[in-house]
Amino acid sequence: MQIEVAKRIQHTEEYYFSRKLREIDALNQAGTKVINLGIGSPDLPPHPSVIETLHAYAEMPTSHGYQNYKGIQPLRQAIADWYQRYYGVSLNPNTHVLPLIGSKEGIVHICMTYLGEGDVALLPNPGYPAYASAVRLSGAIGRPYKLTSQTNWLPDLDALAKSDLSRVKMMWLNYPHMPTGAAAPDTFFKEIVAFAKQYQILLCHDNPYSFILNDHPQSLLAVDGAMDVAIELNSLSKSSNMAGWRIGMLIGAEERINEVIRFKSNMDSGMFLPVQMAATQALSLEPTWYHELNKTYNSRREKVYQLLDALKCTYDKQQVGLFVWANVPSTYADGYALSDEILQKSRVFITPGGIFGDGGNAYIRVSLCATTAVLDDALDRIEHAPISL
Ligand SMILES: Cc1ncc(COP(=O)(O)O)c(C=O)c1O
């Protein structure tokens, strides 16, 4: 039987990584195992106390029922305390916080809550592809705004102000920026909040990388009056090594949280109680947790620099976050050409920057989610493969 898929997903392709991982699996079965430096899935475990908490609560007979839609109170309180401690943002845990099953689902919930046909959402190019997919699913139009190294990957607000913003309802932004690793100065956060107020645009800031190789975690909501126009997604996936656990959060004004719950409560129910208690524990860890994690990422990043030097790529050492973004040498047409060649000849997978939008075509992105031993192995393979640099 043939069943036509709904119009809304006719132009939604399978996620790039889901396709690529199948190709990598096929290569693995055919011979040498591929070293995957593509995806940003932390390979290190969460803190032992987090696992102990999960375990202890899973043992309790009372832990297994449905949970409420707004998350348990201790988790909302832990999120509010975490925002106060690290970002200097005061939140009411009962009204400003909504735990999520990962921030990726939050992107869809937000788009489905606020966008409809005819609305326009501004999207970073390059940027995380899930924003564009969620906007498309909602029936609205995604309008990319170009980011370039010349402006340190910050949007040109003057140029945007001169464009037709009449149907723009939402703007997605994400600093520290993935994939480029650019951090935003405080002044920019203030400017973008003023811009959103002037043009009545809902700012959706996605903030999962602020603790990775970054001495000054920042929240857009730290700007005075930001809550009037902005909401923020955050996540334990990267900062607490809990990507597979699916724990994220939405922070915003009470009205925004209640609006998103109207959609989300029709999609899913509250997270498993032991997961919420373990997340509460993860958020309560001392700053040494982040320092130790970053020591590891720092030594890995040094190896990645060596690998990029071997590939004759150029990169900015001021980057923050879980990846290194690098410009490919002009001997390659683009990042896809370099990525394909390394995969075929060296069995090392590196993400081509073009999957994040054509603004990333001349780049590749290397993940820090591999041990230094694995990175040494990748470097060795690249140095010994007949790559046409
Ligand atoms: C910019 C960005 N936002 C959101 C996510 C998704 O995070 P989560 O695991 O919380 O869904 C990712 C994951 O790679 C990301 O890079």
DSSP 182-228: PPPPHHHHHHHHHHHHHHT-EEEEE-TTTTSS-SS---GGGSTTGGG
Helix, strand or coil, per DSSP, at residue 77 = helix
pTM passes above 0.75 = yes
Confirm whether 57 is domain-assigned: no
The confidence band for 18, taking pLDDT boundaries of 50, 70 and 90, is confident
Are residues 184 and 133 located together in one domain of the fold? yes
Q: Report how far residue 378's alpha carbon sits from residue 386's, in angstroms, rounded to the nearest whole number.
A: 14
Total structural domains in the chain?
A: 2
Which residue in this structure is represented by tokens 């000849």? 345
Q: Indicate if the pLDDT at residue 15 is higher than 90.
A: no
Same domain, 300 and 194: no
pLDDT digits (tens, 9 = 90+) for 102-144: 999 999 999 999 999 999 999 999 999 999 999 999 999 999 9
Residues 27 and 121 in one domain: no
200 C-alpha to center of ligand 1: Å? Answer: 26
Catalogue the E-assigned strands of 236-360: 248-251, 314-315, 323-327, 348-349, 351-352
Q: Strand 348-349 to strand 323-327: parallel, antiparallel, or no bridges (unpaired)?
A: unpaired
As a whole number, mean pLDDT of residues 357-384 equals 97
Tokens of 54: 């999960």
Residue 354 near residue 340, CB atoms below 8 Å: no
**Do 192 and 266 share a domain, yes or no?**
yes
Nearest atom in ligand 1 to the alpha carbon of residue 106 is 11
Provide the 10 A C-beta neighbour count for residue 232. 24
Q: Report whether 98 contacts 250 (CB < 8 A).
A: yes
For residue 327, the CA-to-ligand 1 centroid distance in Å is 23
Let me know whether 311 and 218 are in one domain. no
Helix axes 335-346, 372-384, angle to 10 degrees: 90
Q: What ranges make up the beta strands (E) of 228-319?
A: 230-235, 248-251, 314-315
Residue 228 structural domain? 64-284
Does residue 206 line the site of ligand 1, with CB under 6 A? yes
Pairing of strands 248-251, 97-100: antiparallel
Supply the CATH number for residue 311's domain: 3.90.1150.10
pLDDT value at position 8?
81
CA of 244 to the centre of ligand 1 (A): 11
Q: Tokens 């030097």 — which residue?
A: 309
Whether 58 maps to a domain, the answer reads no
Shared domain check, 80 and 33: no
Mean pLDDT of 44-66: 98
* Whether 145 and 244 share a structural domain: yes
Is there a single domain that holds both residue 271 and residue 352? no
Distance CA 168, CA 26 (A): 43
Residue whose CB lies within 8 A of the most ligand 1 atoms, among 39, 133, 206, for a mutation test: 206
Question: Do 19 and 125 sit in the same domain of this protein?
Answer: no
